[in-house]
Amino acid sequence: MNNQIEQLREKAVKLCADHGVTIQPYGGVWWLLGNGINRVVADLAGLCRSDLAPLAMAER
């Protein structure tokens, strides 16, 4: 099972790299930064393409 989780994490790292998203450690979690992306996730395993979609910006 640990091997499968590591494989999912490796896929997430590649997915982020393909979308120009930087992964930075942030305490015990991960901070994803990119064009329109500013998100903190608990684990990279299970990250999918829709998680990297830019968030809608609303003007105040």
Tens of pLDDT, residues 1-26: 789 999 999 999 999 999 999 999 99
Whole-number Å distance between alpha carbons of 31 and 21: 10
59 is a domain residue: no
Identify whether 36 is part of a domain.
yes
Per residue in 45-55, pLDDT (tens digit) is: 999 999 998 87
Structure tokens at 10: 């490796």
State the pTM of this model.
Answer: 0.84
Contact 36, 56 (CB under 8 A): no
Domain that holds residue 25: 2-52
Domain membership of residue 58 (yes or no) is no
Mean pLDDT within 37-47 = 94
Q: Starting at the earlier edge strand, list the strands of the sheet with 29-34.
A: 22-26, 29-34, 37-41
Count of structural domains, the chain: 1
Residue 60 lies in a domain: no
